[in-house]
Amino acid sequence: MDKTRTGRPREASGPTGDSDHAARASRPPRAGAAKRGEDLVVFWTLNESVCSECGEELGRGSLLRLEGERALCLTCADLDHLTFLPRGDAALTRRASKHSGLRAVVLRFSRSRKRYERQGILVEEAAVLRAEAECLADADARAARQRRDAEHRAARDAEYVASFARRIGELLPGCPAAERGAIAEHACEVRSGRVGRSAAAKELDQGAVELAVRAHVRHRHTGYDALLAAGVDRSEARLEVAAEVDAVLDRWRAPSTRRAGARRR
């Protein structure tokens, strides 16, 4: 198969391969025209060379094409209309390759690893532009989806807050509306991260709702926080304010027809 055992750049010893990393040393690079389905290969030279057709000097780091034993500059190889796309963006590379009528793989020999490594591809400029546009459109679509997800989440949260507040109103009709909202919003924050209807439903159990309300009352309607700030042990502080908390909850449990501050007889 390999007619070209000679004529490769001095460092040459291995081949192409479509993987993004190059190249096993067992198959030398094709020097002639690419066969169907096989990549055209262009070398990133490590040594100075000369184009065997036009005589142009090809310094280190220039690209050259091998035809048989001859090194050609890209102009003489009829590849100078292509543009270099460095490796690193797999989606861009894949799309640019797809849209380009002609494509060449750029290989450079790694002296340390003793193998050819793929540096990127040469493709038509228009193919790169089209690929870039597609990648951008994808990014836009992703951003739009994230926006939609966030909106759905916000809607779910709002629904949860509303139903939690409604549940407080059922169980503790005397609880002022503003406080119902505050308790419900806090419960939603605590819950955020969890999902699922059953979890939400469980949280609307009487016990769970009252627990949330008690915590709120403890902080807002008793001296609990002041006790904590003064260094009182948490369980001791809770014990100390428990009666106050119960009193507030009892008051709130009264039917909503009772006006705030109205006394039971």
Name the site residues for Zn ion (rule: CB under 5 A): 51, 53-54, 56, 73, 76
How many helices (H) and strands (E) would you count in the chain? 7, 8
CB of 45 to Zn ion, least distance (A): 13
* 102 touches 127 (CB < 8 A): no
CB of 31 to Zn ion, least distance (A): 16
Nearer to Zn ion by Cβ, of 51 and 85: the residue is 51
Nearer to Zn ion by Cβ, of 54 and 143: the residue is 54
CB of 43 to Zn ion, least distance (A): 14
Nearer to Zn ion by Cβ, of 73 and 209: the residue is 73
Strands 70-73 and 63-67: antiparallel
The region that residue 127 occupies, defined by phi over 0 for left and psi between -120 and 50 for alpha, beta otherwise, is: alpha
CB of 7 to Zn ion, least distance (A): 16
* 33 touches 39 (CB < 8 A): no
Nearer to Zn ion by Cβ, of 53 and 124: the residue is 53
H-type alpha helices, 8-89: none
Residue 21: which of 89, 140, 115 has the closest Cα? Answer: 115
